[in-house]
Amino acid sequence: KKYTLGMIGLGTMGRNLLLNMADHGFDVTGYDKDPKMLAKLEEDGKEKNLKGHASLEEFVQSLELPRRIVLLVPAGPIVDSVIAELQPLLEAGDMIIDSGNSHFTDTSRRAEDLSKTNIHFFGMGISGGEEGARFGPSMMPGGDKEAYSAMKEILEAVSAKVNGEPCVTYIGPGAAGHFVKMVHNGIEYAMMQLLAEGYDIMKNSLGYNNEQIEETFKSWNAGRMKSFLMEVTADVFKFKDEKTGKLLIDLIKDEAKSKGTGKWTSQVSMDLYLPIPTINEAVSTRDLSKLKKLRVALAKAFEKPEAKIENPEQFIVDLENAMYFAMIVSYAQGLHLLTQASESYKYELKLDEIAKIWRGGCIIRAELLQDIYAAYQAKPELEHLFEDKNIQQKIAGTLSGIRNVCSTAINHGIGIPAFASALTYFDSLRTANLPSNLTQAQRDFFGAHTFERTDEEGIFHANWNAEN
Ligand code: 6PG
């Protein structure tokens, strides 16, 4: 008897996904260089009689044709070395599905290289962390569509479900799957930064304690902002440290790390000339947080403005509106980038399908995605989420809130890079006449870069130094 699918890399994600597949009745097996990982798979999968292989050759030989091999190894050069080891053991038609957070350009290159050998290469983003992998992630596979049909049944079975519908769909050709997962993470960065700023404002402007902060996030999660990130954020504020009995949040250093997917999203957005300022701010603020020594020194050099909130009851309502507004903006920027990438890279993305599979299983799953899904379903060619009437209505109701929150935080000297950028992004986008005419005039003044006119077609240059 041969196995339906094999997993290479039996760390937490790989092992959990394999256990999930076994739960759904698939005959699966795994391979890992580390005997401890093999032992762990067999221990956790005892009930299902899950077996792993210590030899790559035996592992490959144990799989039915065409082979389905999923990689869940750290992104980067390890993926290349695993492929190089596998390649001589494979046959035409076999499939390699890289499910780590690989950079999409690596995925394009690998797909291109392997297509010459008739091996199908898929880049698949998986979101949902350990729990997701074990009980239902959101999955974003991209690559050869025909080969995808050989994976479809398994992926649909193990994915998260929303209203009975699987949170997986064929994303598009080439590296489309990894691209979409990368942008998912960019949105994740923005949402996390917004939640952090909300915490800062509650703590330092409203003077809330951790219990009040937990209650607030919890109440938001009971409303229109119901989402995975809101839920876990609320839970953070009640978690006690085992050693000291104190709330753990107060013992964690205020220096945020990252593994790169957020940065990649910002980098690509610049390459495509497509603005996603709130995501950019989220990336930069993690970097800024690491400048601890400098921050401590500057905190001594400059005093924080003294300020008081006159009407705390109203302010917390405003903060809810501000958060909702900025969450919409975060999704809107990410989706806008996907629209542009789809055109530039010929990914043939279907934004309604993407919003649909993000509704469950993934880190950015949220009630709001139902409205976003509806917007793109009603008009798949929507250029920007802000054009949707329902979204416009939602935004309109939040504007006085976000304006008050931003101005208050600024007056209190609290850094709000994500909130402020979300608002100014919105204000710039809903401005028919920007001051960019001045930018063009300056460019032409000192560099003869030319400009276009509002009253005449053509390219112009003025003799700016002439007296007139
Ligand atoms: C997911 C997460 C997952 C992981 C990120 C975190 O969708 O399940 O996005 O991929 O948590 O890699 O990235 P940072 O370490 O950069 O915060």
Each residue of 43-75: pLDDT tens digit? 999 999 999 999 999 999 999 999 999 999 999
* Ligand 1 neighbourhood includes 256 CB (under 6 angstroms): no
In tens, the pLDDT along 409-420 reads 999 999 999 999
Q: What is the CA radius of gyration of the chain?
A: 25
Residue in this structure with the two tokens 């993690």, named with its chain if needed: 286
Q: Is 253 a catalytic residue?
A: no
- CA distances (Å), origin 388, targets 196, 299, 339, 377, 395: 28, 43, 15, 11, 10
From 102-111, 139-148, 216-225, 401-410, the region with the lowest mean pLDDT: 139-148
State the average pLDDT over residues 273-296. 98
What whole-number distance in Å separates Cα of residue 408 and Cα of residue 205?
8
Two tokens, residue 366: 């949220």
Distances (CA, A) of 123 to 64, 243, 424: 21, 42, 35
How far does residue 411's CA lie from ligand 1's centre (Å)?
Answer: 33
Say yes or no: 164 and 230 in one domain.
no
| pLDDT for res 416 | 98
**CATH number assigned to the domain comprising residue 458:** 1.20.5.320
Whether residue 403 is annotated as binding a ligand: the answer is no
Mean pLDDT of 266-276: 98
pLDDT of residue 306: 85
Provide the pLDDT confidence category of residue 144 given band limits of 50, 70 and 90: confident
In angstroms, what is the span from residue 417 Cα to ligand 1's centroid? 21
**pLDDT, position 150:** 93
Answer yes or no: do 225 and 312 share one domain.
yes
Q: Are 305 and 319 in contact (CB under 8 A)?
A: no
- For 465, the 3-state DSSP assignment is coil
The predicted complex's ipTM stands at: 0.97
Q: Catalytic: 188? A: yes
Rounded Cα–Cα distance for residues 44 and 142 (Å): 30
Domain end residue (candidates: 152, 174, 196):
174
Same domain assignment for residues 113 and 188: no
Q: Would you say 177 and 143 are in contact if contact means Cβ atoms under 8 Å apart?
A: yes
CATH code, domain with 282: 1.10.1040.10
Q: What are the strands, taking DSSP E only, across 283-362?
A: none
| Ligand 1 proximity of 76 Cβ (cutoff 6 Å) | no
- If asked whether residues 386 and 442 sit together in one domain, one would say no
pLDDT for 381-399, tens place per residue? 999 999 999 999 999 999 9
Task: Indicate the helix (H) or strand (E) that contains 14.
Answer: helix 12-23
Across the range 156-173, mean pLDDT stands at 97
Closest atom, ligand 1, to C-alpha of 129: 8
Check 188, 214, 281, 320 and give the catalytic one: 188
Residue (of 101, 121, 125) closest to 112 by Cα position: 121
Rounded to the nearest 10 degrees, the angle between the axes of helix 228-236 and helix 176-204 is: 40
- Going by DSSP bridges, is the β-strand pair 138-142/120-127 parallel, antiparallel, or unpaired? antiparallel
Residues 6+ apart with CB under 8 A from 39: none
Q: Does pLDDT of 358 surpass 90?
A: yes
This model's pTM is above 0.90: yes
Q: Are residues 193 and 323 in the same domain?
A: yes
Q: Is the pLDDT score of 336 beyond 90? A: yes
Ligand 1 neighbourhood includes 12 CB (under 6 angstroms): no
* Closest Cα to atom 4 of ligand 1: 129
Do both 281 and 328 map to the same domain?
yes
Please tell me whether residues 161 and 213 are part of one structural domain: no
Q: What angle do CA 319, 264, 346 make, to 5 degrees?
A: 105
E strand or H helix at 97 = strand 95-98
221 vs 373: CA distance, rounded Å: 20
Residues 129 and 246 in one domain: no
- Ligand 1 touching residue 74 (CB < 6 A): no
Question: How high is the pLDDT of residue 468?
Answer: 82
Q: Which residues pair with 70 in a beta bridge?
A: 7, 97
Q: pLDDT of 89-142, one tens digit each?
A: 999 999 999 999 999 999 999 999 999 999 999 999 999 999 999 999 999 999
> For residue 261, how far is its CA from the centre of ligand 1 (angstroms)?
8
Residues 73 and 128 in one domain: yes
Residues 209 and 357 in one domain: yes
Q: Is residue 190 predicted with pLDDT exceeding 90?
A: yes
Domain-terminating residue out of 143, 174, 205: 174
Query: Is the separation of the CB atoms in 261 and 185 below 8 Å?
Result: yes
Distance CA 278, CA 419 (A): 8
The structure tokens 């903060």 sit at: 319
- Mapping DSSP to helix (H, G, I), strand (E, B) and coil, where does residue 461 land? coil
The angle subtended at Cα 252 by Cα 247 and Cα 258, nearest 5°, is 135
pLDDT(307) > 90: no
In tens, the pLDDT along 193-203 reads: 999 999 999 99
pLDDT of 1 above 90: no
Q: Which of 257, 259, 289 to mutate to test the pocket of ligand 1 (most atoms within 8 A of CB)?
A: 259
Structural domain of 441: 436-468
Contact partners, residue 309, CB within 8 Å, separation at least 6: 205, 206, 315, 408
**What's the average model confidence in pLDDT over 315-325?**
98
Q: Which pLDDT score, from 0 to 100, does residue 147 have?
A: 83
Compute the average pLDDT of residues 141-152.
Answer: 91
For residues 313-319, average pLDDT: 98
Domains identified in the chain, total number = 3
Distance 188 CA to ligand 1 centre (A): 8
pLDDT at 151 over 90: yes
pLDDT at 467: 87
pLDDT tens for residues 4-50? 999 999 999 999 999 999 999 999 999 999 999 999 999 999 999 99
CATH code assigned at 15: 3.40.50.720
Q: Which residues contact 95 (CB under 8 A, 6 or more apart)?
A: 66, 67, 68, 69, 119, 120, 121, 122, 147, 150, 151
Residues 391, 66: Cα–Cα separation, whole Å: 45
**pLDDT beyond 90 at 146:** no
Backbone angles phi, psi at 7, to 5 degrees: -115, 130
pLDDT at residue 158, as a whole number = 98
Percent of the chain with pLDDT over 70: 100
Please, what is the average pLDDT of the chain?
A: 97
Please give the full DSSP string across 394-416, using - where no structure is assigned: HHHHHHHHHHHHHHHHHHTT---
Cα–Cα nearest to 144, from 172, 180, 116: 172
Q: How confident is the model at residue 234 (pLDDT cuts 50, 70, 90)?
A: very high
Both 223 and 283 in a single domain?
Answer: yes
pLDDT, mean of residues 255-281: 98
| Residue carrying the six token digits 């080439």 | 174
Q: Which of 108, 142, 174 is the last residue of a domain?
A: 174
Same domain, 19 and 35: yes
